[in-house]
Structure 1
């Protein structure tokens, strides 16, 4: 199990970032990642010989998608005064929150394609494997997602993110 511990130490930060960008909520992202890591721990003997990174990303995408489906059936309610965030005036934080808010407006498949392709910097083939679809579907979902992000964030900001 030492290799599983090493996997968690080296990959959990990146996987948490993907989960956060898919859910838009830190707590939900941590819960999602914890569930996936528990699942992987139980199956580690079978996973370690293959591609545990790809498995983890696909499991995160699938669980996030299931979460979106459940939320559509049963809307979440705010906590009233307890749900108010203290404003942070840092430009980086404001930009990040704008991007996360814009990502929340995308349909689940487009959001997953954009997050995995540009924010997790995966090649099209790995994104297709994580989403269980063809490379062409990844490209079209990514193109549509970027188009919607440009409409919300502005074309200059989205172009700069594509270059990185």
Structure 2
């Protein structure tokens, strides 16, 4: 069986309020536009997730909220503080433990962890700008069986500016 993993960095956030904690920064105008554009691209490519593992930061949650209405199917969203500014190892642990029985899982989180993980899994050095998406196929039956790189193929990469 093949599972699909979508790694996405949150859309562009607003730095206009210096007193706002990093965790609480919302999306800016460009981010509010790029999130649905990326959702449309994912839908057109046939990459709509069954489940989203989302950082608890405001900007990641707002990214998910702007994407969900663009899909014709209900997508379960699991919000986790563990994904806020998470290391690649922590992201991998979340994927293996929180993906349940989903066939296509999206992780919506932050750099530098996401860029490092995408580069590691693809075995290429990717720049991973805001709202970028990398799609991987995994030759596994169950998420707990996944051994990164052994069973992992990068099948797509997209960023908003390329649309």
Q: TM-score interval w.r.t. the shorter chain?
A: under 0.3
User: Relative contact order (alpha carbons < 8 A, sep ≥ 6): 1 or 2 greater?
Assistant: 2
TM-score, normalization: structure 2? Answer: 0.26
Greater gyration radius: 1
| Bigger strand share | 2
| Bigger helix share | 1
